[in-house]
Amino acid sequence: MSLALRLARPEIAALAPYAHAHWDPALERLHANENPWRYVGDQSLAGLNRYPEPQPRAVEARLAALYGVAPERLIAGRGSDEGIDLLSRAFLTPYRDAALVCPPTFGMYALATRLQGAALVEVPLARARGYALDEAALHAALTPAVKLVYVCTPNNPTGNAIEAAAIERLAARLAEQALLVVDEAYAEFSAAPSLAPLIDRLPNLVVLRTLSKAYALAGARVGAVIADTPVVELLRRVIPPYSMPTPTSEAVLAALEPAPLARARARIAELCAERARLAAALATLPLVRHVWPSEANFLLVECSDAAAALARARRAGFLLRDFSAQPLTAGALRITVGTPEQNDRLLEGLATP
């Protein structure tokens, strides 16, 4: 029996996937109770009167090529959020199992765990070491109930990349006990390579990716779970059919053509350069106490008066994310790197009492 089936909820391991209407674009469709006419104004290629492909294989093949993995090791969904939800539903038995998270980090891990009725174990990152993974505390917190361990790298909201060697050690420690889910939502803005190739020798490693950040498709809601094939096959039993709308699939296929990809990569480089410029300029402002190093498309900025900084940013026309009330990010705001013009206006606004 595979590791995925041993760790999965027994009722999910035994579940037969939904039997959707047969998919064959070469034949005319009189089997799925669809409207035979498009609505006026439908500009999609496939037609919105038709159900989309139950699971978008062309999109998954394009994503697999983008991330350098085999298509059978990837399942596409509605952003990383759906991947987190699928993992929770497949592997966390309510009122018995647990997931482990390392705050401060992305809040969806905790929310999906609690929605599933599972317990949440928290092992804070080591702020004194630049929000590094606290390996000793993490290992001490592991119990047989823990089935999912989440690590975000680069981490949101702190921006730092977690040491790859620490993640490898953790995956090896969890080998027969739990899946290690590494969220690489911001990987394109980091010099660190993806950990997805490690799945070859660490079958309990799962990697989350998304097109929301680097590829300007946040509104399309497209993400991917990359994992050992038995894990992906298990998630296919849980994911609803037709989860990716036709306009989204068509947008992804267009965005991942060579010319748009080249432009996206140029924009990524520009954002990284702006990140460095913005960080240096913010560090000179009287309201700013510390700018944490970042390998993402945002900066965590500690302020002497976070409320005043938020008010100044709002007067300048900007919303910033407030993390100042949380113990491990006291006084801190998260600032997304904008265009050069936006960054200049923000800096001017923060400097103006």
- Clarify whether residues 287 and 244 are in a common domain: no
Q: For the segment 293-339, what is each residue's pLDDT rounded down to a tens digit?
A: 999 999 999 999 999 999 999 999 999 999 999 999 999 999 999 99
Residue 300 belongs to domain with CATH number: 3.90.1150.10
256 touches 273 (CB < 8 A): no
- Clarify whether residues 227 and 305 are in a common domain: no
Helices (H), 8-56: 10-13
Burial tier of 99 (Cβ tally within 10 Å: 0-12, 13-18, 19+): buried
- Clarify whether residues 247 and 273 are in a common domain: no
DSSP-derived secondary structure letter, 126: B
- Clarify whether residues 22 and 161 are in a common domain: yes
CA distances from 53 to 25, 43, 58, 219 (A): 9, 18, 9, 20
Residue 155 belongs to domain with CATH number: 3.40.640.10
- Clarify whether residues 146 and 241 are in a common domain: yes
Q: What is the pLDDT along the chain (353 residues), one digit of tens a residue?
A: 788 889 999 998 888 887 777 888 888 888 889 899 999 999 999 999 999 988 899 999 999 999 999 999 999 999 999 999 999 999 999 999 999 999 999 999 999 999 999 999 999 999 999 999 999 999 999 999 999 999 999 999 999 999 999 999 999 999 989 999 999 999 999 999 999 999 999 999 999 999 999 999 999 999 999 999 999 999 999 999 898 999 999 999 999 999 999 999 999 999 999 999 999 999 999 999 999 999 999 999 999 999 999 999 999 999 999 999 999 999 999 999 999 999 999 999 999 98
Domain extent at residue 70: 3-256
- Clarify whether residues 189 and 144 are in a common domain: yes
Using CA of residue 217, residue 161, residue 72, residue 257, what is the dihedral sign? Answer: positive
Coil vs helix vs strand at 132 = strand
Q: Which amino acid is at 87?
A: L
- Clarify whether residues 104 and 178 are in a common domain: yes
Name which of 238, 191, 218, 200 is nearest 16 in CA terms: 238
Coil vs helix vs strand at 322 = strand
Domain closes at, from 256, 281, 304? 256
105 touches 150 (CB < 8 A): yes
- Residue 59's H or E segment, with its range, is helix 57-67
- Clarify whether residues 250 and 131 are in a common domain: yes
- Clarify whether residues 246 and 204 are in a common domain: yes
2 touches 230 (CB < 8 A): yes
- Clarify whether residues 240 and 263 are in a common domain: no
Q: How far apart (Å, rounded) are the C-alpha atoms in residues 148 and 101?
A: 9
The number of distinct structural domains making up the chain is 2
Q: How far apart (Å, rounded) are the C-alpha atoms in residues 218 and 96?
A: 34
Mode of pairing for the β-strands spanning 98-101 and 119-122 = parallel
Beta bridge partners of 304: none
- Clarify whether residues 285 and 269 are in a common domain: yes
Domain closes at, from 198, 229, 256? 256
Q: How far apart (Å, rounded) are the C-alpha atoms in residues 148 and 238?
A: 17
> What's the helix, strand, coil split of the chain in %, to 5?
40, 15, 45
- Clarify whether residues 251 and 273 are in a common domain: no
Q: Which amino acid is at 180?
A: L
Domain closes at, from 256, 287, 311? 256
Q: How far apart (Å, rounded) are the C-alpha atoms in residues 334 and 337?
A: 10
The predicted model scores a pTM of 0.95
CB atoms within 10 A of CB 136: 10
At 28, give phi and psi (nearest 5°): -75, 140
